[in-house]
Amino acid sequence: MSHTQKVKRIGVLTGGGDCPGLNAVIRAVTKSAISQHRLEVFGVADGFLGLIENRIRLLTFDDVSNILDRGGTILGTSNKANPAHFCTGNDPAGRPVFEDVTDRAVRHVKEHGLYALVVIGGDGTMSGAAHLIQRGLRIVGVPKTIDNDLMHTDVTFGFDTAVAIATDALDRIRTTASSHHRVMIVELMGRNAGWITLHAGAASGADVLLIPEIEYDLHKVCTRCADRSRRGRAYTLVAVSEGAKPIGGEMVVDRVVQESPDPIRLGGISEVLCEQIANRTKLECRATILGHVQRGGKPTAHDRVLATQFGHQAVELIMNGQYDRMVAVQDGRITSVPISDVADRQRLVPRDHPLVAACRATGATFGD
């Protein structure tokens, strides 16, 4: 029996945070598998949590119709469920108790007869996928994150949408900054990668861009704001990544989610900066945390197209027997890379990135 004859059923899941374009991938995987290869496709609810709890259902052609432009994920997702490090409750002192329940997840995949899994997610999800591969599952990954921080792919779907939303917000806040002669600080997502802030800041012409990869000098940031005010430019627009930090300082932590495999939640740097700049410069200053609006709503046309290409390519990799690989874009071409090369790694903004240089050349400062 040939390899393609062995493939009868595949599964698909979405892990980590929601992201514009997830439904477009689910649609492409399901429709490509059914129409081209006569496969059965099963959707796993809520990412790895659905594997652990055995919540897996058949997806039909109709189930994935008319979802191309829909935000979020029809399958649901979870950023707290890692089979290798799963919170099963609390001890008497209230501390979370973690167990390795990988065998349970693997058993459920086999019970449903799933020959392979398409796992859609970011670096954390790919790390979980790498662990499941070691336990014998056949997996193909699809890179998803608005942060654009996965290794070995030039872009991830969701990033273009997030940048468009962030740029629109910065454009809108600029008018308020100008009208009221204020320093306006907009905090953007990205964790400890500054891609969204770099691109949205460049697109909106932000005066100050603060990203995690380039530690800033608070004195230089304040000086730029004060200088603009003295030169008659009566406002300053600051775009700051949630993971930005001053030279020798730490990132601002919003909260710690103990039961999560990635417990640190960043947030609040804009409010800290707002108070510091106002106190030092005596300028009127306001902070806006854009938050989850960046990863909600309809994906852009670019992300729909990219997600469709990724989903189709994931099925082709399965049918060609190329497992344990993640679909990627390199030099404008769809390709694939080993998931092990992506797991537990993060693609950050190089200090000498051409867009950093372009922003500096056109008058922006990174506070360094």
Side-chain half-sphere CA neighbours of 219 within 13 A: 1
* Residue 147 falls in the annotated catalytic set: yes
What b/e string do you get for 334-368 counting C-beta neighbours within 10 Å, with b at 16 or more?
eebbebbebbeeebbbeeebeebeebeeeebbbbe
As a whole number of angstroms, the distance between CA 95 and CA 89 comes to 8
The residue behind tokens 């973690």 is 98
Active site residue: 18, 46, 123, 147, which one?
147
What b/e string do you get for 144-153 counting C-beta neighbours within 10 Å, with b at 16 or more?
bbbbbbbbbb
Count of C-beta atoms within a 10 Å radius of residue 31: 19
Per DSSP bridges, beta strands 9-14 and 116-121 are: parallel
Angle CA 66–72–73, to nearest 5? 70
The residue behind tokens 């932590």 is 253
As a whole number of angstroms, the distance between CA 281 and CA 161 comes to 35
Active site residues: 147
